[in-house]
Chains A and B, each alone.
Chain A
Amino acid sequence: MVVHTDVICPFCGSLCDDIEVNVEMNKIVGIKNGCAISRSKFMNYDVERITYSTVEGKKVQYREAVEVAAKILVEAKRPIIYGLSKTENDAIRNAVYLAELIGGAIDNTTSVCHGSSILAMQHVGSATTTLGEVKNRADIIIFWGANPVEAHPRHLIRYSGMPKGMYNPNGRKDRYIVVVDVRETKSAKIADQFIRVEPNTDFEVLQALRAAVRGEAIHGEMIGGVSVNVIRALAEKMKGARVGCLFYGLGLNQSEGKHMNIDAMYSLVSEMNLHTKFAVNPMRGCYNVTGANMVTAWQTGYPFAVDMSRGYPRYNPGEYTAVDLLARKEADAALVMGSDPAATFPIDAVRHLAKIPVVTLERKRTPTAMLSKVVIPVATSGIECDGTAYRMDVVPLKLRKVVDPPKGVYPDAKVLEDIIERVKTLKEGVE
């Protein structure tokens, strides 16, 4: 048995880097240190596995699938490349290059998760920090619209709640944890304070908190279901922090207000730095959605929602984002990788996806794969191939390969290289 230590878990944006993976005969037989999700990812990596390419549901040779995929993308007038968040950075770079070659739009899962965070970051700016600094220094932690116990199970254990740090020698006892949410989640149950807000009122509560931090009058006794006295007390608590960090989740991005909720939050944190050190970090979901933003930004100047149809990158969330391109019935072909939009998009968008030719690079049977004209199996990044991924605090970490992929199954980056080669040939009209 081979024991791989310090393996990075490729599930959520925490990218826990202390996983121990036991391998026998090229099969994972056990893991240590992982959460329940991590355990499921490593122990079931070969369950429901796609091991061969298909076109129209029929088994074909890999090269034939690549050929059909390239033809679909070259012949399309408005192709879109979507996903990118559950793969490694080299593959994302290749996907951006492919989008440029085919004059397509390229978007990643940010558009349905923290896209509004990026809009607010671009508007307000962001006082951010690393998870290491949080562990060592932060004595007030606020989770707003986030449920780390279920979505990022070891975030509290490794960074924000329990660990002993340089200035937090007593671990959990040295931190005051607040959870603000519309429901009393499992995270709320382990917090020092839970503040329940009414759905779709985060903007109002955040603006009231900003007013309280500034010492301004707040009219009314309740804001968004929260007592003004509670809001004032929280403001004083935050101002008294040695270092504070506000982690927020999709409760802000996906409810009414969207980017304006986060605009208010970033403004609050900016103002908090007049009183003490305070940072704000989004709780990124997919393990390399941050990488999808970073790599797309390196290559095009923009982190998501990029259109290459004019030969140069243009950015417009709401126009070049995948849900909008599909719901408007504008996209006429799609390449999907590192995502499953048929399981994650609203029904109108999925209905159009089901009508256009889709090329899916996937490791398991998914609704998107079931709807796709071409399915090409890929290696699982961080288990069957290496690469680089960005943690939620924008720290790049090296993913490890611990087992070989099935024979004839290649990493996303290699499959994209092969599609790119055929696209170039087809566009030149030279065989």
Chain B
Amino acid sequence: MTGKIEVNLLTGRSLDQAVGLEIGKASKEYFNSVSCVELSKADVDTLKLEKDTTVEISTSHGRVILSWRVSEGLSPGSAFVAYGPWINQILGSETNCTGTPQYKGVKAIVKPANGEHVLTLLDLVKALKEAP
């Protein structure tokens, strides 16, 4: 049985994301930088994640499949994903009358994705175009 953990989801700028977006949003560099979640070593151990697998992150707004890597700078219970269309699949648009959605400190559930693949940018755009 695979486990799951609750995390504080943090999104933000990363150097790789910035470099990648200036190459292009359809580039491999951009994809690699924004479709990967960073987790603490302790959380990776708790989830028993195996190398080169994917994880599912879910909130009340939806779910998304991402690759993962360990970040030494994160405390257990925090997860970081660089800004981009992948993580925005599960963020809410409430702004509390400020205009700004909550991109950081969002409660989310992380669990192994059991072989599901990360969608491509074209997959994401196609889903938006075909949405009812």
Which residue in chain A gives the minimum CB-CB distance to B73? A184
Interface of B is mostly: loop
- Contact present for B61 and A48 (CB under 8 Å): no
Which residue in chain A gives the minimum CB-CB distance to B86? A343
In residues 62-114 of chain B, which contact A (Cβ within 8 Å)?
A: 62, 71-75, 78, 80, 83-85, 88-93, 95-105
Which residue in chain A gives the minimum CB-CB distance to B126? A370
Which residue in chain B gives the minimum CB-CB distance to A150? B15
- Contact present for A318 and B96 (CB under 8 Å): yes
- Tell me, rounded to whole Å, the shortest Cβ–Cβ distance linking A92 to chain B: 18
A323 contacts B by Cβ under 8 Å: yes
Task: Type the 1/0 row for A345-371, where 1 means its CB is closer than 8 Å to any CB of B.
Answer: 111111100110000000011110011
- Contact present for A40 and B98 (CB under 8 Å): no
B124 contacts A by Cβ under 8 Å: yes
- Contact present for B105 and A255 (CB under 8 Å): yes
Interface size class of A (residues with CB under 8 A): 35 or more
Of the listed stretches A95-103, A108-116, A157-165, chain B binds: A108-116
Which residue in chain B gives the minimum CB-CB distance to A184? B73
Of the listed stretches A16-24, A246-254, A403-411, chain B binds: A246-254
Residues of A within 8 A of B124 (CB): 367
A394 contacts B by Cβ under 8 Å: no
- Contact present for A259 and B19 (CB under 8 Å): no
Which residue in chain A gives the minimum CB-CB distance to B131? A351
A149 to B16 CA separation, bound complex (whole angstroms): 12
A254-B102 contact, Cβ under 8 Å, with A185-B73, A324-B95, A348-B61: yes
Residues of A within 8 A of B97 (CB): 317-319
- Contact present for A350 and B101 (CB under 8 Å): no
Task: Identify B100's interface contact among A48, A183, A254, CB under 8 A.
Answer: A254
Tally of contact residues, B, Cβ under 8 A: 51
Residues of A within 8 A of B25 (CB): 48, 340, 343, 364-367
Residues of A within 8 A of B52 (CB): none
A291 contacts B by Cβ under 8 Å: no
A350 to B121 CA separation, bound complex (whole angstroms): 14
- Contact present for A182 and B22 (CB under 8 Å): no
A149 to B13 CA separation, bound complex (whole angstroms): 10
- Contact present for A183 and B99 (CB under 8 Å): no
- Contact present for A321 and B95 (CB under 8 Å): yes
- Contact present for A183 and B74 (CB under 8 Å): yes
A371 to B129 CA separation, bound complex (whole angstroms): 7
A408 to B105 CA separation, bound complex (whole angstroms): 45
B32 contacts A by Cβ under 8 Å: no
Choose among B26, B73, B74 the residue with the greatest number of A CB atoms under 10 Å from its CB: B73
- Contact present for B98 and A259 (CB under 8 Å): yes
B46 contacts A by Cβ under 8 Å: no
A200-B83 contact, Cβ under 8 Å, with A185-B73, A367-B124: no
- Contact present for A251 and B93 (CB under 8 Å): no
Task: Identify A199's interface contact among B72, B104, B128, CB under 8 A.
Answer: B104
In residues 1-25 of chain B, which contact A (Cβ within 8 Å)?
A: 8, 10-15, 18-20, 22-25
Residues of B within 8 A of A317 (CB): 95, 97-99
- Contact present for A343 and B85 (CB under 8 Å): yes
Residues of A within 8 A of B73 (CB): 183-186, 188
- Contact present for B102 and A349 (CB under 8 Å): no
A33 contacts B by Cβ under 8 Å: no
A370 to B25 CA separation, bound complex (whole angstroms): 11
- Contact present for B98 and A116 (CB under 8 Å): yes
- Contact present for A40 and B78 (CB under 8 Å): no
B125 contacts A by Cβ under 8 Å: yes
- Contact present for A47 and B92 (CB under 8 Å): no
Residues of B within 8 A of A305 (CB): 99
Task: Identify A151's interface contact among B10, B18, B85, CB under 8 A.
Answer: B18
- Contact present for B104 and A11 (CB under 8 Å): no
- Tell me, rounded to whole Å, the shortest Cβ–Cβ distance linking B117 to chain A: 19
A185 to B72 CA separation, bound complex (whole angstroms): 9
Task: Identify B19's interface contact among A37, A185, A188, A321, CB under 8 A.
Answer: A37
Binding site for B on A (CB under 8 A): 11-12, 36-37, 40-41, 44, 47-48, 107, 111-113, 115-116, 119, 147, 149-151, 153, 182-186, 188, 196, 199-200, 250-251, 253-256, 258-259, 285, 304-305, 317-319, 321-324, 326-327, 340, 342-351, 354-355, 364-367, 370-371
Question: Assuming A37-B18, A370-B125, what are 12 further A-B pairs, CB within 8 angstroms?
Answer: A11-B22, A116-B100, A150-B18, A183-B74, A250-B13, A258-B100, A285-B13, A318-B99, A322-B99, A342-B85, A349-B93, A350-B85
A-B contact pairs, 24 of them (CB 8 A): A40-B19, A47-B24, A47-B27, A48-B24, A149-B15, A150-B15, A182-B104, A182-B105, A184-B73, A199-B105, A250-B12, A255-B103, A255-B105, A305-B99, A323-B95, A327-B93, A340-B25, A343-B88, A345-B93, A348-B92, A354-B128, A366-B25, A370-B125, A371-B128
Q: Nearest 8 A-B pairs (CB), nearest first?
A: A321-B99, A48-B24, A318-B97, A184-B73, A111-B99, A327-B93, A199-B105, A40-B22
